[in-house]
Amino acid sequence: MSETAPAPAKNKKLLIIVAVVLLAVLSGVAAWVMLAQRSSLDDEEGGRSGRAAQAAAKAPPTFMPMENMVVNLADPGGDRFAQIGITLELADAKAAEQVKTYMPSIRSSVLLLVSQRTTDELLTREGKEKLAQDVRREVSRPLGYAIPKPRKRAAQRDLDDEEEDDDEDERPRRRADDNPVRQVLFSSFIIQ
């Protein structure tokens, strides 16, 4: 009988080892399931905007050309004019439908905007870039979006900072631009 006594001891040790391994595996599976549930809850509560932003960034934009515009410029004498072709880069087709709805108002605003410019302003790259920003603002306004004013140039900003109180150490951060009007592109730009 002494020969059979060591066998149950080995079986006990083997059974304990199997139980510990099984417990460790089950604990790992339980932890993985809990983390998966937590991340899915995070996605449902606050992560939707992050996923939507990633999807929007991956989606190709929609380009919407506007009819060419011929506008008298604000030069002295009133004999200069500009012919401008504008294409709007929009977030998606839904935004394009919204812009189409307001197109008469948008076109009028853009014509008024361009007619206030002079030849000298529009011949420079900076003048064209400022016009593009202003056109974006005019297109966005009927859609309910406000475009912040462009930042001042560094030299002017430094002068302004010296004049301001020293209490304003840090400017507030701006939130991400969620405007569906992404960019204004010029398809033609002729000044005569």
Q: In this structure, are residues 117 and 74 in contact, taking their beta carbons and an 8 Å threshold?
A: yes
The band of 34, judged by pLDDT with boundaries at 50, 70 and 90, is confident
Site of tokens 């932003």? 53
Q: What is the pLDDT of residue 55?
A: 58
Which range (35-49, 78-92, 157-171) has the least confidence?
157-171
Q: pTM to 2 decimals?
A: 0.59
**Type of residue at 115:** S
Tell me how far apart the alpha carbons of residues 19 and 183 are, in angstroms, rounded to a whole number.
Answer: 63
Q: Is the model's pLDDT at 163 over the cut of 90?
A: no
Q: Which CATH class name applies to 62-153+179-191?
A: alpha beta
Q: Is the model's pLDDT at 36 over the cut of 80?
A: no
Q: Is the model's pLDDT at 85 over the cut of 90?
A: yes
Q: Which residues pair with 84 in a beta bridge?
A: 69, 189
More confident residue, 42 or 25: 25
What average pLDDT does this structure show over 37-49? 59
Q: What is the pLDDT of residue 165?
A: 46
Q: Is the model's pLDDT at 40 over the cut of 50?
A: yes
Which range (4-13, 145-154, 172-181) has the least confidence?
172-181
Q: Is the model's pLDDT at 139 over the cut of 80?
A: yes
Q: What is the pLDDT of residue 69?
A: 95
What average pLDDT does this structure show over 55-64? 78
